[in-house]
Structure 1
Amino acid sequence: MQRFHSYCISGSGEERAEGDTEARFPYWSFTKTVIAICALKLSENGSLDLDSLIGGQVYTLRQLLNHTAGLPDYGALKDYHDAVAAGEEPWSREKLLSAALARGMLFAPGEGWSYSNIGYMLARENIEAASGLSFANLVEAFISTPLGLTSIAPVTTREEFAQLRCEAAGKYHPGWVYHGCLAGNVRDAARLLHGLFSGKLLSAPSLAEMQVTIPLGGALEGRPWTECGYALGLMSGAMGTAGRSAGHSGGGPSCVNAVYHFPDLREPVTGACFTDGHHEGVAETELGRRVQNFG
């Protein structure tokens, strides 16, 4: 029987938990939301400009954050998946980029949309260079300390990953997630996104900027989405009767998650749901059910 671990927070502050709220899980691509928050914080304090070209490249940080830079993704590489499945050590940055960029850019920056983990690796590198701080230090300063979150930190070694609640623990090297892989408990995932949409992390103009969405289409097979789009580090659209939703899903070897804010319910609810398996739609569907039953 599949087990779910969830944490939901209403707009009035009521919190409801199911499953194990203390165990730490890999956040996978929910890390992208955190990278985007850090970028917007650095933009607020003048440390970087989202719309300046990066290091002589043809794309901007904003285009990296909303997947319009035209960069391909390593998820399409068979050799990448074979190496992960074989338990190999992660490739060097140079080998990864050489393999992924072998056929060049997918389109000119700003003239299309394509999900790219490579884009988020470059975005993380950019915010670290602009701030002079590591991603771990940025997360601590901009998110964990202001919100009082204690479980969240990047995992970078097999030994660190082995401590997580995930069947792949002990076998998988988190270095295969090239933009970085945060880990933490389900409670802190929900509180992080709740803090974002409660205005505790970004100014009102920055939060509005983060939510500017590129519409991408309608329903997705096997998933609860009825409208799909992408903002800055946010999957943004609607999940059927749960209404509008913004947050991020994540998945990797043996476990998946969904962390979303739902503003259209009788009372807005932010929630996180973690479970085993390989299909993010399972976590998304369960979270949608739980937030609608919150009241």
Structure 2
Amino acid sequence: MTAQTVHSYWITTSGREGFSGSIDACFPYWSFTKTVISICALKLAESGNLDLDATLKGERYTLRQLLKHTSGLPDYGQFSEYHSAVAAKETPWTRNKLLDVALAKGMLFEPVQGWSYSNIGYMFVVELIEATLEKPLREVIADMVCKPLGLNSIELAETCGQFRRVHWEAATDYDPKWVYHGCLIGNAPDAARLLHALMTGHLLQPATMRQMLDEKILGGAIPNRPWTECGYALGLMYGALKSVGRAVGHSGGGPFCVNAVYHFPDVSDPITVASFTDGTAEGVAEFAAERLAEVQ
């Protein structure tokens, strides 16, 4: 069996940088997009345009609960019909059909009475951001995150044509509209620089950053992944790995590739790593990121 190629980029607090694999290739960021959506929502909370703890109109949950996956909303990724439709290369479902399938049995639990990962929750966050600013998410992310940081490779993929920039051939016939909260694409250096800027205080005010890092502890080890403790904050996976201590960031995966974008604050020179590889096992990218954090 041929070993998977992992494309990684790393940057440390002291300013050292390095990479393996391709430095210019374009990758889907998948659920690392949630981290960026959360940054935008939190910046709007900083400016007073959104309230993290106000119950959303007509609903029982708050923005904070959506960002933390404690709203009780289900996730379309739990349904075989969704995965079958993606595999069959069907036209992405309308919003109404998506919600008909996902909400057929109602909420999973009352807000904050449990935890369940929900892409639908982040779709609702995106809709709230767009309605508040009266501009599409692609412009919000560009204005709030990418332009200030000079991250020129990143864009929100909204068409199959845009997705053809992606490194893997399997991306050529994938419709990014299947990712209902949106899917960013870009290179590994820009993914690492984005998270590093967040974790070193260049995107949010200190008080806001403390709220973003307020985690809900979810458990311990996960099979075939490097975690010894895992939790979730606001748009961030937050836990610990045996060899390097705390890890903060997000992994992600789609039908043909996976990624892990993490900051490791406990190593001697805190490091941020973005790793991308093919396949569907997120642990492969996470272990690659851990190994880089160990040796830097």
| 1:220 counterpart = 2:222 | yes
Q: CA deviation at 1:110?
A: 1.1
Residue number in structure 1 paired with 2:142: 140
Distance 2:168 2:258 in 1: 9
Alignment of 1:184-195 (within 5 A): 184-195=186-197
Distance 1:202 1:133 in 2: 21
Which of 277, 281, 284 is residue 282 of structure 1 equivalent to? 284
Which of 178, 181, 194 is residue 180 of structure 2 equivalent to? 178
| 1:78 counterpart = 2:87 | no
Which of 82, 88, 91 is residue 90 of structure 2 equivalent to? 88
Distance 2:153 2:120 in 1: 26
Q: CA deviation at 1:179?
A: 0.5
Structure 1: any 5+ residue segments left out of the alignment? none
Q: CA deviation at 1:37?
A: 0.3
Distance 2:50 2:208 in 1: 14
Match of 2:39, SS? helix
C-alpha distance after superposition, 1:214-254 (max 9, x if no partner): 00000000000000000000000001111100000000011
Which of 122, 125, 134 is residue 124 of structure 2 equivalent to? 122
Residue number in structure 1 paired with 2:61: 59
Question: Partner letter of residue 282 of structure 1?
Answer: V
Residue number in structure 2 paired with 1:105: 107
Question: Partner letter of residue 15 of structure 1?
Answer: E
| 1:165 counterpart = 2:167 | yes
Confirm or deny: 8 A CA contact 1:42 1:131 kept in the other structure.
no
Alignment of 1:250-261 (within 5 A): 250-261=252-263
Question: Partner letter of residue 184 of structure 1?
Answer: G
C-alpha distance after superposition, 1:139-188 (max 9, x if no partner): 11111111111011110111111221123211211111000000000000
Question: Partner letter of residue 48 of structure 1?
Answer: L
Match of 1:236, SS? strand
Alignment of 1:243-254 (within 5 A): 243-254=245-256
Distance 1:130 1:112 in 2: 28
Residue number in structure 2 paired with 1:15: 17
Q: Which runs of 4+ in 1 moved over 6 A?
A: none
Distance 2:274 2:240 in 1: 16
Q: CA deviation at 1:55?
A: 2.2
Confirm or deny: 8 A CA contact 1:71 1:114 kept in the other structure.
yes
TM-score for the superposition, normalised by structure 2: 0.98
Residue number in structure 2 paired with 1:39: 41
Q: CA deviation at 1:127?
A: 1.1
Question: Partner letter of residue 275 of structure 1?
Answer: T
C-alpha distance after superposition, 1:43-65 (max 9, x if no partner): 01111101111222111111000
Question: Partner letter of residue 69 of structure 2?
Answer: H
Question: Partner letter of residue 213 of structure 1?
Answer: E
Corresponding residue pairs, total: 294
Confirm or deny: 8 A CA contact 1:236 1:247 kept in the other structure.
yes
CA RMSD of aligned residues (A): 0.8
C-alpha distance after superposition, 1:94-124 (max 9, x if no partner): 0000100000000001111000000010011
Distance 1:151 1:54 in 2: 34
Match of 1:226, SS? strand
Distance 1:11 1:108 in 2: 41
Residue number in structure 2 paired with 1:48: 50
Distance 1:238 1:12 in 2: 22
Distance 1:48 1:132 in 2: 13
Distance 1:122 1:249 in 2: 21
Question: Partner letter of residue 42 of structure 1?
Answer: L
Distance 1:198 1:268 in 2: 10
Stretch deviating more after TM superposition (159-168 or 243-252): 159-168
Confirm or deny: 8 A CA contact 1:245 1:260 kept in the other structure.
yes
Match of 2:231, SS? strand
Stretch deviating more after TM superposition (112-121 or 132-141): 132-141
Question: Partner letter of residue 197 of structure 2?
Answer: G
C-alpha distance after superposition, 1:19-46 (max 9, x if no partner): 1111110000000000000000000111
